[in-house]
């Protein structure tokens, strides 16, 4: 009956009285006699008691103190341990104090706790200590007497019995002469409950036999999960019944993703998928693909869309491209023409695209004699067709193809054009005259060709050095050309052809002449290889002397005239391009100034130059000369100019060279086109080591492109951020000096930049900085340009923001902000302030604060650049001298300086230190609140939470970000210095005030 009651209790309470505890015995849960074994001659009595709530419970008591040699045994029934390695025994008891007892034989205030392991209840121990394992002698901390408060009589003790090896045990209480009551006894063990972690189920695991033991448990993956092949999931159960040291994991299979608590794998919802086993999230289906059911591991393509064989299941579905746009034929002659087109409006969601050209004549494929260069299938948007018959009609189709075209089936979209090759080629130039030449110069003229219709747009000339000196090609609108820099005693062949509205004329018959030797007399009008009729008889010495003197005077005047023209750039170079092989120092000069009918690139889209001296035009390139590579900066949003790597092939046959290509994106406005071409046209006027060099433009075909010299780092702001802390102060000042030199040159050439900032600079591998963007540049006289162009407020002077008034002084202001960007490794000026906040702060006298990387001399230059009155700002020639002086002076390069600065260390808490720093960043109004709430140091401000800032009244998100970003930036600038300092200057200026640092 007793065993039955004990088993019933265990089943009812499930061995889980509390979390992570397996209950084996609890006398408080007994409703009838406990039925424990009492030893022979033992005075234990089982009685009922009541707790404070009035609930009845069973307990044992004994008080055998009137006789000696007490051995009172009390033993529990057999307790099954269910595989536990260690059990805990909790005892609640009371003991009578021995101090006031009289006439007793023995009185003790302790008792013995013993245990006996057994594999079954039949294996009962004897009533002696030899069979038992003594657990402990339990002493009472509290003893009662008749006068004591009953609330202070009860003792609670817990003992543990470890290293158990059998199925169960008996627990015994041995009294040796105490007057006590055993009110409650509880036996339990600790275990780690079944749990799910990292998508694995771990079974219920009993804790180890001692405090330091860890019991290993291997998990099994939940449904729709697979085991990580690198390591199976494991957990360890410690002595407290707590799981610890997780290793390994399970992963959700394709189509399933972990739940938030990683307890199960849930199917991907409709419209999402997961293609691989792993614990990543389900993602939305790629473009043009759908999943119509949950748990999808792949999204299927919508009707009309496909994936190529090389596409992964994660790739977007794509379709065939639409037809090419704006297909047209150009430069049509009797047997060749050029086809050019724009890309399709819809690329079918793929990057790769090629064009296939088909030619038909009289509804039949063109004969093999008709060819296409480079081929009939191209990736470019232009092709040269040759071998055509004169006075014939041709139909050309240009198909747009991608990798899906062969999968989708059907005919690809195409554009078509019908071309007639009527024999309207202009006649060749009949007469070419070598007007005069010397040992290094030549003047050549020709007659205008006879044409039945159309107009002559210009001429292409070719001057070939027959001695292997190279070829010089030019374009001009005049009928006369002058060459200088030719080689003495070299044979040259000249020919010219006309560019008309109907195409190119044949080249003229070649005219050959030989330049004079460098030490011979000058002869005019007749080539050396013709027999001269100007020589006189040698006997006429006076005439010979006079002629020699006259010739010398003419020669001197001619040389002086050429030098003056070269130095002052009196002659414009017109619409020309020069390409040469092995020829040095050859200059082309049109004989006449460019007239009003001349085609000058930029005149159409730069009206502010209309009354100025005509600029040097850009070299017009062929599409085949430019190969576009990887993208450096994409055009996003309203931006239309993409910057790419590229390869440039010169006309003169030299090896291809790397280049930077700017490309105007399709869909541009007239203003955007004007700015794009203005950028290229203005750069073409300049030759300076701190201004990027332009190779030429493609402005007659789409897309519009401009080609520039190769720069290793096309965007200075990105370069500086990538190399933060890696450049010395001297290197940074040298970069600023490069910008100042470039701007000084621009002013001397009569131009304003109007949009100077770090993003518009490029950097070479040896840290030479060049100004690289001139889209907003104007002539220096154009100081007021209403509503034209954009305004970058963070870089703009006050008069530009308020009145659109531009001058050298406004460029000086922008230079100051650009220099601040460089010295701060590309940080954004004014941080996260919006334009309105920047304008308001500038109006109140605020200026960008310096950092500890900024030497005193440079600080003063920046302050001078940001003076409110434009006439008080220094010009660029003075700035350049100041920078040179700063770079030469070691004292100006050091970071240790004095002046209007303060120190804000991590442990600084003074009101003046904190207040000055807050004032320097424009947040002085929060000084008292910060100090009152215990935020008085740099580290404390960095550690502030959003709630902390709102609690003290900093509610603006911009001000919250500005406070912490400024603190972090200041802390970072101190930690990356090579010498210890913590100075930060307050550069806030009142109007009209100059602060000397």
* Cα gap 593→599, rounded to integer Å: 12
φ/ψ (deg, to 5) at 914: -65, -45
The whole-angstrom separation of Cα 811 and Cα 776 is 12
Look up the CATH number of domain 2-192.
2.60.120.260
């660029």: which residue's tokens? Answer: 876
Ranges of beta strands (E only) in 668-790 are 694-698, 705-709, 751-752, 761-763, 769-771, 778-779
Element (H, E) at 191: strand 179-192
- The torsion defined by the Cα of 636, 641, 646 and 652, in degrees rounded to 10, comes to 170
Instruction: Name residues of the chain where pLDDT drops below 70.
Output: 1-19, 146-152, 422-427, 430, 451-454, 519-617, 637, 652-653, 781-791, 852-853, 889-913, 916, 919-920, 969-997
Tell me the C-alpha to C-alpha distance, in Å, between residue 89 and each of 162, 180, 239, 981: 11, 18, 15, 64
DSSP string, 248-295: --EEEPTTEEE-TTSSSEEEPPTTEE--SSSSPPPEEPPTTEE--STT
What one-character DSSP code corresponds to residue 871? G
Two structure tokens written together for 503: 């195409």
Is residue 58 within 8 A of residue 33, CB to CB? The reply is yes
Which token pair is 13?
Answer: 């309470």
CATH H superfamily, domain 195-252: ephrin a2 ectodomain (2.60.40.1770)
Ramachandran sector of residue 635 (left: φ over 0; alpha: ψ -120 to 50; beta: rest): beta
| Burial of 230: CB neighbours in 10 Å, binned 0-12, 13-18, 19+ | exposed
Class of domain 715-894: mainly alpha
Compute how many other C-beta atoms are within 10 angstroms of the C-beta atom of residue 685: 20
pLDDT of residue 617: 64
Q: What's the CA gap between 927 and 941, in Å, rounded? A: 11
Close Cβ partners of 460 (under 8 Å, ≥ 6 residues apart):
473, 474, 475, 496, 497, 499, 504
Is residue 26 part of the annotated active site? The answer reads no
Q: What is the DSSP string of 21-36?
A: EEEEEEGGG-SS----
Residues 88 and 161: their CA atoms lie apart, in Å, by: 6
Do residues 591 and 481 touch, judged by C-beta distance below 8 A? yes
Q: Domain 600-709, what fold?
A: Phosphorylase Kinase; domain 1 (3.30.200)
Residues making up the chain, counted from first to last: 997
Give CA–CA dist 388/334, Å, rounded.
7
Q: pLDDT value at position 936?
A: 80
Give me the pLDDT at residue 482, please.
93
The predicted pLDDT at position 880 comes to 93
Q: Are 413 and 322 in contact (CB under 8 A)?
A: yes
pLDDT of residue 213: 85
Residue 4's H or E segment, with its range, is helix 2-13
Give the pLDDT confidence of 527-545 residue by residue, as tens digits. Answer: 333 333 333 333 333 443 4
Residue 238 CA to residue 206 CA, distance in Å, equals 9
The label of the residue with tokens 């302050």 reads 863
Residue 170 tokens read as: 């008996």
Q: Please, which residues bridge with residue 118 across strands?
A: 168
Confidence at residue 547, expressed as pLDDT on a 0 to 100 scale: 44
User: Which class for 282: exposed (0-12), middle (13-18), buried (19 or more C-beta within 10 A)?
Assistant: buried
CATH 3.20.20.70 fits 424-534+568-597, yes or no: no
The CATH number of the structural domain formed by 905-981 is 1.10.150.50
Give the H or E element holding residue 803: helix 798-803
> What's 107's DSSP letter?
-
User: H or E segment at 835?
Assistant: helix 835-843
Residue 37 dihedral angles phi and psi, to the nearest 5°: -80, 130
Q: How many CB atoms lie within 10 A of CB 873?
A: 23
Which one, of 668, 666, 624, 665, lies nearest residue 646 by Cα? Answer: 624
Dist. CA 298–CA 273, nearest whole Å: 6
Supply the pLDDT for residue 452: 56
Query: Is there a contact between 177 and 107 (Cβ–Cβ < 8 Å)?
Result: yes
pLDDT given at position 1: 39
Using a 10 angstrom Cβ sphere, with 0-12 exposed, 13-18 middle and 19 or more buried, the burial of residue 50 is exposed
Residue of 589, 341, 339 lying closest to 441 (CA atoms): 589
Integer-rounded Cα Rg, in Å, for the chain is: 48
Task: Give 308: exposed, middle or buried? Use CB within 10 Å, 0-12, 13-18, 19+.
Answer: middle
CA 544 from chain centre, in angstroms, equals 78
List of long-range contacts for 152-156, beta carbons under 8 Å, 24+ apart: 153/94, 154/92, 154/93, 154/94, 154/183, 155/91, 155/92, 155/93, 155/94, 155/95, 156/90, 156/91, 156/92
In angstroms, what CA-CA distances link 33 with 30, 36, 37, 89, 934?
7, 8, 12, 20, 65
CATH topology for 325-420? Answer: Immunoglobulin-like (2.60.40)
Query: Distance between CA 324 and CA 413 in Å, rounded?
Result: 8
Q: Among 679, 676, 655, 678, which residue's Cα sits nearest to residue 665? A: 676
Task: Name the residue ranges covered by the structural domains of the chain.
Answer: 2-192, 195-252, 325-420, 424-534+568-597, 600-709, 715-894, 905-981
- Which position among 175, 336, 717, 755 bears the catalytic label? 755
Judged by DSSP in three states, 152 sits in: helix
- Which strands sit side by side in the sheet containing 195-197, from one edge to the other? 195-197, 200-202, 220-221
Q: Rounded to a whole number, what is the distance in angstroms from the first to the last CA of the chain? A: 99
Contact 204, 193 (CB under 8 A): yes
How many C-alpha atoms does 718 have within 13 Å on its Cβ side? 8
Q: What's the CA gap between 573 and 812, in Å, rounded? A: 32
The reply to whether 2-192 and 325-420 are identical in fold is no
Residue 923 contacts residue 846 (beta carbons within 8 Å): no
C-alpha–C-alpha distance, residues 596 and 448, integer Å: 18
DSSP designation for 167:
S
Q: What pLDDT is stored for residue 841 in this prediction?
A: 87
Question: What sign does the dihedral 978-979-983-985 (CA atoms) show?
Answer: negative
pTM, full prediction: 0.38
248-267 core/surface letters (b: 16 or more CB in 10 A; e: else)? bbbbbbbbbbbeeebbbbbb
């Amino acid at each position: 009956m007793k065993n039955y009651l004990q088993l019933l209790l265990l089943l009812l309470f499930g061995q889980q009285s509390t979390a992570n505890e397996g209950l084996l015995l609890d006398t408080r849960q007994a409703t009838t006699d406990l039925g424990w074994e009492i030893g022979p001659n033992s005075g234990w009595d089982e009685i009922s008691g009541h707790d404070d709530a009035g609930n009845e419970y069973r307990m044992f008591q004994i008080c055998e103190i009137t006789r000696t040699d007490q051995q009172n045994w009390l033993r529990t029934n057999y307790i099954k341990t269910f595989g536990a390695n260690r059990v805990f025994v909790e005892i609640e008891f009371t003991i009578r104090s021995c101090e006031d007892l009289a006439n007793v034989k023995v009185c003790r205030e302790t008792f013995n706790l013993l245990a006996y392991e057994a594999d079954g209840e039949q294996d009962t121990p004897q009533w002696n200590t030899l069979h038992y394992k003594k657990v402990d002698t339990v002493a009472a901390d509290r003893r009662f007497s008749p006068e004591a408060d009953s609330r202070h009589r009860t003792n609670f003790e817990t003992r543990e019995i470890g290293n158990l090896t059998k199925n169960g045990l008996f627990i015994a209480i041995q009294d040796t002469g105490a007057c006590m009551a055993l009110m409650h006894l509880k036996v339990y063990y600790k275990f780690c409950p079944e749990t799910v972690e990292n998508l694995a189920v771990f079974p219920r695991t009993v804790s180890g036999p001692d405090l330091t033991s860890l019991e290993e448990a291997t998990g099994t993956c939940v449904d729709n999960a697979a085991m990580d092949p690198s390591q199976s999931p494991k957990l360890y159960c410690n002595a407290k019944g707590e799981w610890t040291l997780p290793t390994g994991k399970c992963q959700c299979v394709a189509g399933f993703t972990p739940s938030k608590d990683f307890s199960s794998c849930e199917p991907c919802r409709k419209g999402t998928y997961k293609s691989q086993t792993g614990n990543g999230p389900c993602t939305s289906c790629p473009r043009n693909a759908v999943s119509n059911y949950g748990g999808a591991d792949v999204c299927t393509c919508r009707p009309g869309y496909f994936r190529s064989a090389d596409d992964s299941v994660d790739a977007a579905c794509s379709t065939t491209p639409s037809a090419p746009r704006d297909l047209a034929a150009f430069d049509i002659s009797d047997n060749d023409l050029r086809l050019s087109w724009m890309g399709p409006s819809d690329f079918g969601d793929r990057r790769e695209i090629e064009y296939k050209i088909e030619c038909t004549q009289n509804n039949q494929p063109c004969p093999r004699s008709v060819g296409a260069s480079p081929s009939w299938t191209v990736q470019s948007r232009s092709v040269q067709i040759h071998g055509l018959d004169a006075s014939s009609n041709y139909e050309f189709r240009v198909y747009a193809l991608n990798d899906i075209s062969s999968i989708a089936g059907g005919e690809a979209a195409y554009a078509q054009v019908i071309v007639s090759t009527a024999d309207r080629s202009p006649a060749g130039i009949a007469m070419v005259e070598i007007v005069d030449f010397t040992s290094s110069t030549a003047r050549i003229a020709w007659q205008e060709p006879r044409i039945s219709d159309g107009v002559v747009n210009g001429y292409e000339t070719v001057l070939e050095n027959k001695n292997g000196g190279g070829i010089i090609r030019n374009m001009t609108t005049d009928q006369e050309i002058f060459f200088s820099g030719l080689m003495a005693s070299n044979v040259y062949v000249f020919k010219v052809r006309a560019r008309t509205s109907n195409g190119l004329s044949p080249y003229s018959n070649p005219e050959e002449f030989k330049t004079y030797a460098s030490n011979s007399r000058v002869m005019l009008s007749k080539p050396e290889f013709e027999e001269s009729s100007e020589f006189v008889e040698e006997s006429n010495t006076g005439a010979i002397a006079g002629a020699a003197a006259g010739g010398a005077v003419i020669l001197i005047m001619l040389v002086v005239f050429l030098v003056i023209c070269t130095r002052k750039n009196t002659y414009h170079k017109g619409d020309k391009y020069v390409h040469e092989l092995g020829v040095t120092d050859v200059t082309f000069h049109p004989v006449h100034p460019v007239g009003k009918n001349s085609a000058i690139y930029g005149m159409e889209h730069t009206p502010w130059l209309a009354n100025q001296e005509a600029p040097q035009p850009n070299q017009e390139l062929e599409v085949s000369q430019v190969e576009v590579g990887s993208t450096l900066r994409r055009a996003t949003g309203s931006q239309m100019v993409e910057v790419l790597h590229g390869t440039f092939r010169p006309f003169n046959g030299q090896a291809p060279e790397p280049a930077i290509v700017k490309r105007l994106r399709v869909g541009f406005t007239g203003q955007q086109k004007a700015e794009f071409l203005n950028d290229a046209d203005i750069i073409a006027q300049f030759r300076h080591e701190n201004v990027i060099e332009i190779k030429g433009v493609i402005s007659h075909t789409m897309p519009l492109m401009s080609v520039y010299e190769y720069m290793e780092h096309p965007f200075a702001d990105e370069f500086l951020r990538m190399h933060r802390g890696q450049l010395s102060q001297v290197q940074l000042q040298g970069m600023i000096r490069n910008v100042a030199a470039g701007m000084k040159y621009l002013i001397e050439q009569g131009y304003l930049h109007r949009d100077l900032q770090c993003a518009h600079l490029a950097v070479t591998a040896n840290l030479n900085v060049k100004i690289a963007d001139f889209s907003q540049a104007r002539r220096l006289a154009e100081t007021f340009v209403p509503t034209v162009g954009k305004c970058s407020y963070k870089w703009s002077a006050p008069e530009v923001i308020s009145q659109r008034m531009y001058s050298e002084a406004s460029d000086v202001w922008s230079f100051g902000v650009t220099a601040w960007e460089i010295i701060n490794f590309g940080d954004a000026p004014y941080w996260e302030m919006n334009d309105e906040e920047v304008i308001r702060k500038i109006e109140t006298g605020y200026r960008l604060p310096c950092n500890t990387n900024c030497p005193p001399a440079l600080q003063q230059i920046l302050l001078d650049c940001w003076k409110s009155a434009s006439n008080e700002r220094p010009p660029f020639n003075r700035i350049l001298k100041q920078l040179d002086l700063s770079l030469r002076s070691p004292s100006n390069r050091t970071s240790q300086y004095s002046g209007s600065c303060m120190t804000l260390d991590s442990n600084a808490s003074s009101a003046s230190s904190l207040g000055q720093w807050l004032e320097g960043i424009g947040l002085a109004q929060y000084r008292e609140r910060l100090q009152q709430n215990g935020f008085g140091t740099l580290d404390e401000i960095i550690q502030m939470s959003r709630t902390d800032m709102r609690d003290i009244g900093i509610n603006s998100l911009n001000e919250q970000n500005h406070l912490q970003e400024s603190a972090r930036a200041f802390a970072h600038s101190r930690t990356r210095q090579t010498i210890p300092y913590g100075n930060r200057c307050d550069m806030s200026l009142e109007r009209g005030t100059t602060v000397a640092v």
